[in-house]
């Protein structure tokens, strides 16, 4: 069996599963330059970001294993042709719970009430009769853009609470899990219908040329003044200026944003979303639970085991010289 030099940021379940069988270079505290210097001598890189110039230098690299579902931080064109790229998921339930939490917080204006009470002000309709009431979720309609792992888990939780579910996705004829009963599922051409018919819109599609800027001024207008937008996909799927203006002007009711148009150490946006009272801001951590990362670590370890044994890998998104296992399909 081959022993590989593996570079990346690891969680303990991953190292425990493969301990003693490989040479591990734990880059948790490494900067990009140090990672780049080490890459020419490794066969496996585990991470979500890689500089193009470093990818070109990685002559021995066989596998890039992303630690999540999105691989937009990996420069596919810069990798040598033989390099395989694989991903891992297991975040659907955790993100779906975050979506539900966010919708409840926006529907009950939790952030404003929390800030007021911290200053000693009781902000409720008993002491301020003019305040609007919160909104219960039962009977409301949620529209889900994208119906893969995250979208189906969002649908499952929303359905359990009595919300009507509709969705659009690339292939509307793909099978739907037997326990889900959506009002309808359409192709991407039905996005205008979904926006017009939904009280809550949840964005779960991956970022691609087709989805970049998918939600712009016209789409936000179609949602209506009371609608909520939840983006747990990628920031650029929604047009930054259009969303800020829709929230500032009251064209939509509110937004929960877990993904942004920039990343650390830069501010999440060049626009002052933080000044808007109808925005819930989180730092791209909706899937960050022990459940998600333990399952991901085990799946990455299993894939490295397949590589060692010469077996096909799962979740391959870019085929190199390592065979891919048959795709069982995702809803």
Higher pLDDT, 18 or 49: 49
Q: 5-8 and 44-46: which strand pairing?
A: parallel
Closest by CA to 43, choosing from 75, 9, 77, 6, is 6
Answer whether residue 308 shows pLDDT above 80. Answer: yes
**Strand arrangement of the beta sheet that strand 200-203 belongs to:** 184-186, 164-168, 141-145, 200-203, 228-231, 254-257, 279-281
Instruction: Kindly tell me if the per-residue pLDDT of 328 is higher than 70.
Output: no
- For all residues of the chain together, what is the average pLDDT? 92
Residues 70-115: tens digit of each pLDDT:
898 999 999 999 999 999 999 999 999 999 999 999 999 999 999 9
3-state secondary structure (DSSP) of residue 166: strand
Average pLDDT over residues 43-65: 95
Q: Could you tell me the CA-to-CA distances from 170 to 62, 146, 281, 304 in Å, in that order? A: 31, 8, 28, 31
What pLDDT is attached to residue 15? Answer: 62
- SS3 per residue for 254-322: EEEECCCCCCCCCCCCCCCHHHCCCEEECCCCCCCCHHHHHHHHHHHHHHHHHHHHCCCECCEEECCCC
Confidence of residue 1 (pLDDT cuts 50, 70, 90): very low
Return the sign of the alpha-carbon dihedral for residues 81, 65, 314, 176. negative
Output the pTM of the full model. 0.89
d(CA 168, CA 303): 31
Residue range 148-204, pLDDT digits in tens: 999 999 999 999 999 999 999 999 999 999 999 999 999 999 999 999 999 999 999
User: What confidence score (pLDDT) does residue 4 get?
Assistant: 73
Q: Determine which of 13-22, 26-35, 195-204, 313-322 has the lowest per-residue pLDDT on average.
A: 13-22
Q: Which CATH number fits domain 92-281: 3.40.50.300, 1.10.3110.10, 3.30.160.60, 3.40.50.720?
A: 3.40.50.720
Give every strand in the sheet of 23-26, ordered side by side.
23-26, 5-8, 44-46, 63-65, 84-86, 316-318
Query: Among 200, 201, 284, 192, which residue's Cα sits nearest to residue 235?
Result: 284
Mean pLDDT of 191-219: 97
Question: What is the DSSP-derived secondary structure letter of residue 41?
Answer: G
Query: Which CATH class, in words, describes the domain spanning 5-90+290-318?
Result: alpha beta
The C-alpha angle with vertex 51 and arms to 45 and 323, in degrees rounded to 5, equals: 40
Matching fold, domains 5-90+290-318 and 92-281: yes
Q: Is the pLDDT of residue 64 over 60?
A: yes
Between 31-35, 243-247, 277-281, the lowest mean confidence (pLDDT) is in 31-35
Q: Check residue 296 and give its pLDDT.
A: 92
Return the domain boundaries, the chain. 5-90+290-318, 92-281
CA distance 195 to 200: 9
Average pLDDT over residues 59-75: 93
Across 219-231, average pLDDT: 97
pLDDT for 331 beyond 60: no
């Amino acid at each position: 069996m081959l022993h590989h030099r593996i570079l990346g940021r690891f969680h303990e379940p991953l190292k425990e599963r493969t301990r003693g069988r490989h040479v591990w270079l734990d880059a948790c505290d490494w900067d990009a330059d140090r990672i780049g210097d080490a890459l020419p001598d490794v066969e496996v890189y585990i991470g979500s970001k890689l500089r193009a110039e470093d990818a070109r230098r990685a002559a021995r690299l066989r596998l890039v294993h992303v630690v999540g579902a999105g691989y937009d931080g990996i420069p596919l064109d810069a990798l040598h042709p033989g390099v395989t790229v694989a991903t891992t998921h297991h975040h659907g339930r955790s993100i779906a719970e975050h979506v539900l939490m966010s919708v409840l917080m926006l529907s009950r204006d939790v952030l404003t009430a929390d800030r007021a009470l911290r200053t000693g002000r009781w902000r409720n309709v008993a002491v301020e009769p003019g305040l609007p009431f919160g909104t219960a979720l039962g009977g409301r309609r949620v529209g889900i853009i994208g119906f893969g792992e995250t979208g189906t888990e969002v649908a499952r939780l929303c359905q359990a609470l009595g919300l009507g579910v509709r969705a659009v996705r690339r292939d509307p004829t793909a099978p739907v899990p037997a326990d889900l009963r959506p009002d309808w599922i359409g192709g991407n051409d039905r996005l205008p219908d979904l926006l017009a018919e939904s009280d809550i819109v949840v964005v779960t599609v991956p970022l691609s040329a087709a989805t970049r800027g998918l939600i712009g001024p016209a789409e936000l207008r179609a949602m209506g003044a009371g609608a909520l937008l939840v983006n747990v996909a990628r920031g650029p799927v929604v047009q930054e200026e259009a969303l800020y203006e829709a929230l500032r002007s009251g064209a939509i009711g509110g937004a929960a944003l877990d993904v942004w148009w920039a990343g650390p150490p830069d501010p999440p946006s060049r626009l002052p979303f933080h000044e808007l009272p109808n925005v819930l801001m989180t730092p791209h951590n909706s899937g960050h639970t022990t459940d998600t990362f333990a399952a991901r670590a085990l799946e990455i370890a299993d894939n490295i085991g397949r590589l060692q044994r010469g077996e096909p890998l799962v979740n391959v998104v870019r085929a190199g010289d390592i065979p891919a296992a048959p795709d069982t399909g995702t809803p």
